[in-house]
Chain A
Amino acid sequence: MKTGGKKFWLALAAVIFLIVAASNRAQTPPIGQTTEFTSDTYFEPPNEQQVKMRLSGASASPLPGGLLDVKNLKVEVFNTNGVQQLQALAPQCTYAPLNGVASSSGHLEFHSDDGKFRTEGDGFLLRQTNGSFSLTISNNVHSVMEIPTDNQGLFL
């Protein structure tokens, strides 16, 4: 009887597991949601094959007005050799594809690829214009930069 009871509970646990697993699979993305959202901007000729700036996210959900709710935003800026120079990361933003504007009241981190400069803050507005961009952080800005050794003691 004791063995039978154990089997019962094991079977019950298995059924619960299957139900939970099935319900998780049922949580499919809503209509219109995409994953690994990416938007590339290219250099002018003769480097038109090179990506100048890549704006990507883990997912993007449609919002009213043609906007997108982008999760895990990543903005990457490259030079003409394809080497990444700058990167910005944010957990979330609202992106207007037609205007090339991304904004959020949340946190944003911005850093150079060589790691010598990074800045972060809360609340940002990123504008893409003519293949370039401007970025504003509106609150609690904190930058840290490495001071090159050749900049020290220049006059003393």
Chain B
Amino acid sequence: MKLHLFLLLLVGGWTAEAQTNTPATNSPSSASTMDITSKRWDFDQISRRVVYSGDVRVTDPQERLTCEQLTVTFSTKGTHPENIQAETNVVVDYTDAQGEKYHVTTDKGVYVYSVTDSTTNETITLTGNARVEWGAPDPLTGERNWMTGEPIYYTRINRQKGSLHALNQHIHINSSPSGTNTDNSPVKLF
């Protein structure tokens, strides 16, 4: 059950692209554990699906995800989840290895994993008020860097560095030195 993958995709994938000049290295040396709490838990052996519902909280040493429902569907081949959905009031807080903090909010986040002709495809789609914040607050406005899109996509192939793109995107980068990303042409990231 590789929920960490989803969280890293959801957040790490974002940050890897957003941090243009900072080669983050989020690679803990040892395995850790992840806690998930919820009000209800449903497991179905036929559909290979686990559903956490009601005040779902996922925490591990580096990130925290909250939502109202988290659905994990496992592939019929192996134990890799082929689909993970976080739904309703999805909030992710993530701190990378450099201590940079990211805050993601969306109505729904869907991770899809598939293998076709030995090619691994992974996508994340954020829909419904998707927004990512990062960087230090602007000393004057208190606003952090942020990005929105409807939807926001993240895709990658064969576990190589992926690409991020969005429809109806809006990006705000603090121009002051306090901003993490001082690149004045963020659009090229996509």
Interface set of A (CB-CB < 8 Å, partner B): 77, 110, 116-117, 119, 121, 129-130, 132-149, 151-156
Contact = CB atoms under 8 A, between A and B. Distances in A.
B49 to A, nearest CB: 9
Given A155-B13, A156-B25, A139 B44 contact: no
Given A142-B36, A145-B1, A153-B25, 14 more contacts: A117-B1, A134-B42, A141-B37, A143-B36, A143-B52, A145-B34, A148-B2, A148-B31, A149-B31, A151-B4, A151-B5, A152-B26, A153-B8, A156-B24
A2 to B, nearest CB: 66
B159 interface: yes
Interface residues of B, number: 41
Contacts of B15: 156
A142 to B, nearest CB: 5
Given A141-B38, A142-B35, A155 B45 contact: no
Given A145-B1, A145-B3, A148-B2, A119 B41 contact: yes
B43 A134 contact: yes
A153 B45 CA distance: 30
A155 B9 contact: yes
Contacts of A156: 8, 12, 15-16, 24-27, 96-97
Contact of B41 (A136, A151, A153, A155): A136
A66 to B, nearest CB: 25
Contacts of B33: 144-147
A138 B40 contact: yes
A149 B159 CA distance: 15
Contacts of B39: 138-141
B28 interface: yes
* Residue of B3, B25, B38, B161 most packed against chain A (CB within 10 A): B38
A147 B6 CA distance: 12
Contacts of A140: 39
Contacts of A141: 36-41, 52
B156 interface: yes
